[in-house]
Amino acid sequence: MDDDNATGRKRPDEFATERTGKPELVFNRYQLLNELGKGGTGVVWLARDLELNTNVALKFLREDVTFEVDALRELKGEIILNRDLSHPHIIKTYSFETSGQKAAISMEHVSGDNLQTLKAKQPGKFFNVEDIFGWMQMLCDAMDYAHRQNVVHRDIKPSNLMINKHGDLKVGDFGIGRAVAETVNRMTKNAAGTPPYMSPQQTMGEKAVQSDDIYSIGATIYDLLTGSPPFFRGAIREQALAKVPPSMAQRRIELERVGAPIPPQWEKAVAACLAKEPAARPPTARALREMLEGRGAASVLSGYPLGPRRREREGEPEPSSRTVFAGYPIARRGTSWIHWAVAGFAVVVIAGGILIWKDPRQAERLRDALTSVKGWAEKRLTSDPAPVPAAKVEVLAEKPEIPNPAEPAPINRQPFEGKIGPLVAAGAISVPEAEWLQASLKGAKGDAEKVLAERLLYVESATLGQWRARTTYDYSLPEEVIVDGARLPSALDIRVNEWTKTRLLRMDAGSFVRGSPKEELGRRPNELTPERVTIAKPFFIGIFEITQAEYNALMVRNPSFWRGNPTWPADQIDWQSVAGPNGFIAKLNRDLGGKYGGLLVADLPTEDEWEYACRAGTRTAFNSGVGISRLENDRGLDSVANYNRAANGTPRPVGSFQPNAWGLFDMHGNVAEWCQNRFQRGGSWQSTAANCRSGWRTQLSANAAPSNQVGFRLVIRHRTLVQSN
């Protein structure tokens, strides 16, 4: 939390807590417990959220900001935009509250100290590299993720970096820094941010971009390793614009601080971050992490090196599985397979048969890549025992414009038709979906749809499944429609009643490795041994667990323990309530039979179907692509699941966490889900990390008592494709 440079003062009557000792109720929801800190944007209190029965950090805004109507409007918009940020190393923003003379932001409460406080507790008032190495990796990961979502922090500094009780770093003030800082800027005529950590461009009041955050990370590392930021006395603004700070080793000597030597790669990385010109800074937080780690392996093209350049692709995430539609590889960043490597650079045809595309990033890398690809292909074509006679390598892309690496990932550098045409030709996207995407990119469907379309087609931070899960495009089928089982739509919007509908995504036939290896941490004796199995027939599965609103729309009574929360998953669902003769599935089938002539059949997933959908191409313990390392809490699960909240936890609204690669939310945690044969999968809000693994399973009797940890997810099948149990 921001607890330095405090300027706000509380009026004597502002909080009754200080006068009476009795917790005050604010916004008819939060009980104030104790003050955590205060700073330039306001005061932070630990509060009890009575609605969710959990502790939160409640950040009250300065009074001068509270009465700025435009500021509050901007702030609310920022919070709505940034609520979607869900990362294990970013403090979650929940909601914006206003009432009378008070305005506050509800955020995740992190029990621990910030790095400014921890630095002051060190013997020499500074850290050594080995002390902060892991934290800086976490910081780079968090900022890399945020920048992919086109979110710039603008105020990275030690006091905004919290270390929780598990020793993990959490970045604070996401979702509020921009609007509040710009409002203060208007009132004080100063640039938004904290001067010792601000880039020259930010100091001059230019629009913030991710290179400003890169500068601030460098200034933060400099501060942590020397005890002071690069410029910490005198005319800081002028020094930031004109002077180059000494190396960190020199600054330690100047301040008479003795510590372990600073590795050369750290000096080089921090100096690069503090470059005056944005183009000279590391292009991404991920690239900065690689510099700090002293690594950067050469890219590999199906076993062949792509030349001597390091893989410093802007925004490259953790490896992801290959996605191919009818021979057309989708240009997604990931492991070093041939399509991924080539797709990063141009439109190329190899042997007249493989089309690979993606926006080029830098002309220099383009030339290197195409030279290597052409040389490799010509070598292969002339050395193969039976080369293809008419084969050739042809470069189809025009010379790209060189983007400024300090700017967010470029978009719209390739015509829409070049992006969408091959997908439509391959049947991956329907013509109506393509028309919707084109209209969205033009802004005709609203800002939210435009962002979704850009993330899918140009920023490439979303998959097709994730786009379909979030878009407002209507996947409803006309009643009495004849559905062709061989040409099923990519998604379904099924109406539970006149006002309520639920969305399901099509899972295509395929194979996967089910079960958990014997060495997997937390494995139970009843779990299946790893075995490759085939899902022979496509099916539809809900993007969310069935919510209380959806359950109420069909059933007479809502059995949920947490009832009254329509966007929460229905819980306390026993076997008879979901699979009995008068259960949800049976009633929905009676309704579907009248609408679609019995062609669409509601069901529960088989265990294999559930695990296939949950894993979404992964083989790790969690569908985030990360293996389990802790039984109770595991960072690989934090971004995708509501779990391990036994002390004071509850379910959360569906979709509160990141979806898997196929667009399905809450496959881990929230509520355990019924599958056929009375098996439950996925774990719940109360489960430990070990009991939320993809391979975890338990079986209950048909008469087991209902639990407030149990719900279900709907499956829809085409009658001709119904699988036997």
**What's the 3-state SS for 2-61?**
CCCCCCCCCCCCCCHHHHHCCCCEECCCEEEEEEEEEECCEEEEEEEECCCCEEEEEEEE
pLDDT band for position 721 (50/70/90)? low
pLDDT band for position 135 (50/70/90)? very high
Residue 696 parent element (H or E): none
* DSSP helix/strand/coil, 394: strand
Position 9 in a domain: no
pLDDT at 415 over 70: no
Do residues 633 and 596 lie in contact, with contact meaning Cβ atoms separated by under 8 Å?
no
Residue 129 and residue 80 in one domain: no
Residue 463 tokens read as: 């998959």
Phi/psi of residue 371, each to 5°?
-60, -45
Beta partners for 284?
none
Mean pLDDT, range 691-709, rounded to an integer: 92
Helix, strand, coil content of the chain in percent (nearest 5)? 35, 20, 50
Residue 159 and residue 273 in one domain: yes
Residue 103 and residue 237 in one domain: no
Residue 129 and residue 100 in one domain: no
**389-395 contacts, C-beta under 8 A, 24 or more apart:** 390/352, 391/351, 391/352, 392/351, 392/352, 393/348, 393/349, 393/350, 394/348, 394/349, 395/346, 395/347, 395/348, 395/370
Of residues 593 and 163, the one with the higher pLDDT is 163
pLDDT band for position 689 (50/70/90)? very high
Q: Tens of pLDDT along 172-228?
A: 877 465 555 555 544 443 444 578 898 988 888 888 899 999 999 999 999 999 999
Last residue of a domain, one of 367, 393, 410: 410
Residue 617, Cβ neighbours under 10 Å: how many?
Answer: 16
Across the chain, mean pLDDT equals 77
Position 170 in a domain: yes
pLDDT at 495 over 60: yes
Residue 446, Cβ neighbours under 10 Å: how many?
Answer: 11
Beta partners for 164?
112
Angle of helix 285-293 versus helix 264-273 axis, rounded to 10: 160
Do residues 154 and 202 lie in contact, with contact meaning Cβ atoms separated by under 8 Å?
yes
Of residues 182 and 364, the one with the higher pLDDT is 182
pLDDT band for position 66 (50/70/90)? low
Question: How far are the Cα atoms of 10, 55, 142, 180, 366 from residue 14, in angstroms, in the given order?
Answer: 6, 21, 35, 21, 60
pLDDT at 601 over 70: yes
Distance CA 503, CA 584 (A): 16
Residue 34 and residue 119 in one domain: no
How many Å separate Cα 52 from the centre of its chain?
Answer: 23
pLDDT band for position 587 (50/70/90)? very high
Do residues 158 and 221 lie in contact, with contact meaning Cβ atoms separated by under 8 Å?
no
Position 473 in a domain: no
Min mean pLDDT across 176-180, 360-364, 419-423, 622-626 is at 360-364
pLDDT at 419 over 50: yes
Distance CA 284, CA 86 (A): 19
pLDDT at 254 over 80: yes
At 192 the pLDDT is: 47
Domain count for the chain, please give it.
4
Do residues 548 and 584 lie in contact, with contact meaning Cβ atoms separated by under 8 Å?
no
Do residues 533 and 511 lie in contact, with contact meaning Cβ atoms separated by under 8 Å?
yes
At 242 the pLDDT is: 66
Mean pLDDT, range 21-45, rounded to an integer: 82
Residue 495 parent element (H or E): strand 491-495
Mean pLDDT, range 616-635, rounded to an integer: 92
Position 33 in a domain: yes
Residue 50 and residue 178 in one domain: no
Of residues 359 and 216, the one with the higher pLDDT is 216
Residue 118 and residue 193 in one domain: yes
At 328 the pLDDT is: 29
Residue 139 and residue 271 in one domain: yes
Kindly report the three-state secondary structure assignment for every residue of 248-278: HHHHHHHCCCCCCCCCHHHHHHHHHHCCCCH
Last residue of a domain, one of 60, 75, 108: 108
Assign residue 61 the CATH number of its domain: 3.30.200.20
At 368 the pLDDT is: 44
Residue 312 and residue 241 in one domain: no
Position 485 in a domain: no
Position 265 in a domain: yes
Question: How far are the Cα atoms of 71, 267, 471, 560, 669 from residue 665, in angstroms, in the given order?
Answer: 33, 42, 14, 20, 10
At 569 the pLDDT is: 96
Assign residue 160 the CATH number of its domain: 1.10.510.10
pLDDT band for position 661 (50/70/90)? very high
Beta partners for 513?
532
Q: Which structural domain range is residue 518 located in?
A: 491-721
Angle of helix 285-293 versus helix 129-148 axis, rounded to 10: 160
pLDDT at 338 over 90: no
Position 284 in a domain: yes
pLDDT at 381 over 70: no
pLDDT at 378 over 60: no
Do residues 685 and 642 lie in contact, with contact meaning Cβ atoms separated by under 8 Å?
yes
User: Nearest to residue 604, comparing CAs of 682, 705, 656?
Assistant: 682
Position 611 in a domain: yes
DSSP 8-state symbol, 160:
G
Q: Tens of pLDDT along 429-485?
A: 999 999 999 999 989 998 889 989 988 988 878 899 999 999 999 998 876 555 665
Pairing of strands 491-495, 672-674: unpaired
Whole-angstrom distance between the N-terminal and C-terminal Cα of the chain? 53
- State the burial class of residue 99 (Cβ atoms within 10 Å of its Cβ: 0-12, 13-18, 19+): exposed
Do residues 700 and 629 lie in contact, with contact meaning Cβ atoms separated by under 8 Å?
no
Assign residue 586 the CATH number of its domain: 3.90.1580.10
